[in-house]
Structure 1
Amino acid sequence: MCCYFNNLEIVLCRASYKVFWILRIQLGAVNSILWKNKFLLLKAMLLVTILMLPNKIVFGQAFQEELVEMQLPQGILIKGTITSPTANKPCPVVLIISGSGPTDRNGNNPYGISANYLKMLADNFAQQGIASLRYDKRGIGASACKIKEKNLIFDDYVDDASLWVTKLRQDKRFSSVIVAGHSEGALIGILVAEKQPIDGLISLSGAGESLQKTILRQIAERQPQILAKSTEIVASLERGVMIKVDNPELQFLFRSGVQPFLISEFRYDPSVEIRKLKIPILLIQGSRDLQINELDAKALKAANGKAKLVIIEGMNHMLKNSPPNIKANIATYSNPNIPLAKPLIPAVTNFVKQIDAKK
């Protein structure tokens, strides 16, 4: 047993030899769909070569991390991490689904976001006696694969999350299964809830409108000079028709390779989909979120009146307290030492515990 400092917390470590489902080393071609760089490659290789992660004891509360993986029929291997309390009794488990882009299981990406907010969320769950599973979506992080960008659609993410739910429900260690999705992951969670019998849903900074409306709103606010052309492109994709994009300013967002994905996601409106759900729902929204605002959360609440809405004053998209200044807000995106907003943890853990108590 050893002692070291990790983000100003004293942590005791001991070897863990528990294996969840099946652990294998598969070192094939590690290839991200969009983000091919040596740093991502190194990160993926390190993740798949670690067989066991240590148990941790933080502030007297023990929890453990275990690498997990799921083999898909297409030969794709999805990798994740189970974080769970060490108490030898059934406990609730939360499937944590990350947001859009190359965001990994911890909430980080190669483009400067290293806030570690999803890992912090998992650790806080475990300290409260709640297990969680977070994972790298297909094509991202340790789940990098040879899929071509044009062959990836939004429904693939929904199907993958649904399979994780099936595995969790079959695991006797878990007494209930709740899904928590962040940003785009919130919509994935809503759609999973339509397909799978989950016990509850947590929407963290989830949009209340369709992706195309969010895209056009953000463009209108930040790049109005490309709004007219963007509107034309979106209209074509809404009809399911791909369109040639010549404008360099629009290439990254609407390039041909990503258009099939956009077409598939444009079919869904979160407010329409959440209305179909009959399970307990918790809507969490920060007042200083630069990507999703309070109107989104209120739209979801209006669509499903039984959902519980919690607005956390001062919380931003990274689920952390932020100054009102936009530059300072963005600075939190790359700071892993800032803790999660204090009201967030009791809000989500109490919700999960209340659901589990009724099982």
Structure 2
Amino acid sequence: MKSYILILITFLIVFNSFSQNKTYKAEEIKINNLIDGLLLVPENEETSTLAILIQGSGPTDRNGNQPMVNNNSLKYLAEGLSNRKIATFRYDKRLVNLARQGRLKEENIVFDDFIKDAMDVTAYFKKDPRFSKIVIIGHSEGSLVGMVTAQENRADAFISIAGAGQEIDDVIVDQLERQAPALKEDARNSFDDLRVNGIATNYGEGLSSIFRPSVQPFMRTWMAYNPQKEIAKLNIPVFIINGNQDIQVDENEAKLLKIAKPDAELLIIEGMNHIFKKITPGDTMENAKSYNEPNRKVMPELIETIENFIKALD
């Protein structure tokens, strides 16, 4: 009985400590029929900076998860910032909502759709008097979406996490060189066909996930944007972040963005992978496993450095 009481008391202490750490209130927001998400607002704050989180590629939801990939990376980032008196909004991509509604047609999706969605989100919150500043945080594919969205004074600052510095075809070819070198030349030729002729047909089965006909309109419109040119257009504070254990986007991509935007801040976080988790250097098994560890928190260093950057804007 004493053992049971001790366990119960310990549970209550732990539960209470978590409750005390939560210093924000949550609000479901519907932007339009395709975009909805979760707003976290610090309690007892009349106005606050709002950080809008834009996720990476694929059917990614507001928490940074996809079917069969559950790591809660964006959830933990948003909650960590909101516990530090920075409001956050994260949303499900239109791919997620279209799939829920049974209306997803892959061939109708283009990259500019995601830019429009991010602009709609930003415009919605620009009208909200609770927020004194808007900061866009783009992760991976969302970095390019975010830097285009942030142009023309639509945001007060921009943060890129694991964003590409090259056009997407060059990024994918570099990834294949590291992970599947036998496919590199075929991919390069197919991307060149897509860029010049608007269609690629001579690709092997191993590249069908990239070049199947229903994906080509999206890939072609994504290739039209050069991250270095887009980030150079920003006249607001910029923070570029990458992890040195990222097996998807090499840290050199961040350095290319820094060259294109010399006044930007650059930080390479030791031990951080693509989804913000701390990884033993060189441990590819641990790295891959972390993509499906929903209880594994993101690195505190990431939250702290973003907090410091945002609060320095005041």
- TM-score, structure 2 as length reference: 0.91
Structure 1 pair 246/351, CA: closer, same or farther in 2 (3 Å)?
closer
Letter in 2 for 1:280: P
- For residues 202-241 of structure 1, the aligned pairs below 5 Å read 202-239=159-196, 241=198
Structure 1 pair 142/323, CA: closer, same or farther in 2 (3 Å)?
farther
Matched, 1:10 2:15: yes
Offset at 1:147? 3.9
- Do the aligned partners of 2:157 and 2:238 also contact (CA within 8 Å) in 1? yes
- Do the aligned partners of 2:191 and 2:200 also contact (CA within 8 Å) in 1? no
Q: Identify which of 91, 106, 113 aligns with 1:135.
A: 91
**Regions of 4+ moved over 3 Å:** 57-61, 141-145
Offset at 1:60? 4.0
Structure 1 pair 339/252, CA: closer, same or farther in 2 (3 Å)?
same
- Do the aligned partners of 1:92 and 1:175 also contact (CA within 8 Å) in 2? yes
Matched, 1:295 2:252: yes
SS in 1 for 2:216: helix
Structure 1: tracts of 5 or more residues without a match: 13-56
Offset at 1:10? 2.6
Question: Which residue number corresponds to residue 123 of structure 2?
Answer: 166
Letter in 2 for 1:340: V
- For residues 304-315 of structure 1, the aligned pairs below 5 Å read 304-315=261-272
Structure 1 pair 196/254, CA: closer, same or farther in 2 (3 Å)?
farther
- Do the aligned partners of 2:247 and 2:274 also contact (CA within 8 Å) in 1? yes
Offset at 1:260? 0.3
Offset at 1:283? 0.7
Question: Which residue number corresponds to residue 70 of structure 1?
Answer: 31
Matched, 1:339 2:300: no
Offset at 1:247? 2.6
- Alpha-carbon distance in structure 1 between the residues aligned to 2:205 and 2:152: 39
Letter in 1 for 2:300: K
Offset at 1:234? 0.2
- Do the aligned partners of 2:76 and 2:298 also contact (CA within 8 Å) in 1? yes
- Alpha-carbon distance in structure 1 between the residues aligned to 2:171 and 2:112: 19
Instruction: Please list the CA deviations of residues 53-83 of structure 1 after superposition, one character each: whole Å capped at 9, or x if unmatched.
Output: xxxx743442111111122xxxx42111111
- For residues 1-359 of structure 1, the aligned pairs below 5 Å read 10=15, 58-71=19-32, 76-111=33-68, 113-140=69-96, 144-145=100-101, 146-239=103-196, 241-244=198-201, 247-324=204-281, 325-355=283-313, 357=314
- Alpha-carbon distance in structure 1 between the residues aligned to 2:126 and 2:99: 22
- Do the aligned partners of 1:287 and 1:311 also contact (CA within 8 Å) in 2? yes
- Do the aligned partners of 1:200 and 1:280 also contact (CA within 8 Å) in 2? yes
- Do the aligned partners of 1:81 and 1:134 also contact (CA within 8 Å) in 2? yes
Structure 1 pair 142/85, CA: closer, same or farther in 2 (3 Å)?
farther
- Do the aligned partners of 1:115 and 1:335 also contact (CA within 8 Å) in 2? yes
Determine what percentage of the aligned residue pairs are the same residue. Answer: 34
Offset at 1:252? 1.4
Letter in 1 for 2:106: E
- TM-score, structure 1 as length reference: 0.80
Offset at 1:342? 2.2
SS in 2 for 1:310: strand
Letter in 2 for 1:351: F
- Do the aligned partners of 1:245 and 1:255 also contact (CA within 8 Å) in 2? no
SS in 2 for 1:243: coil
Instruction: Please list the CA deviations of residues 292-324 of structure 1 after superposition, one character each: whole Å capped at 9, or x if unmatched.
Output: 122111111111011001111001101110012
SS in 2 for 1:128: coil
Offset at 1:238? 1.4
SS in 2 for 1:277: coil
Letter in 2 for 1:125: L
- Alpha-carbon distance in structure 1 between the residues aligned to 2:16 and 2:227: 40
Structure 1 pair 180/328, CA: closer, same or farther in 2 (3 Å)?
same
- Alpha-carbon distance in structure 1 between the residues aligned to 2:16 and 2:276: 23
Letter in 2 for 1:136: D
Structure 1 pair 346/326, CA: closer, same or farther in 2 (3 Å)?
same
Structure 2: tracts of 5 or more residues without a match: 1-7
Q: Over aligned residue pairs, what C-alpha RMSD do you find?
A: 2.2
Instruction: Please list the CA deviations of residues 311-354 of structure 1 after superposition, one character each: whole Å capped at 9, or x if unmatched.
Output: 11001101110012111111111112222112111100111111
- Alpha-carbon distance in structure 2 between the residues aligned to 1:194 and 1:200: 10
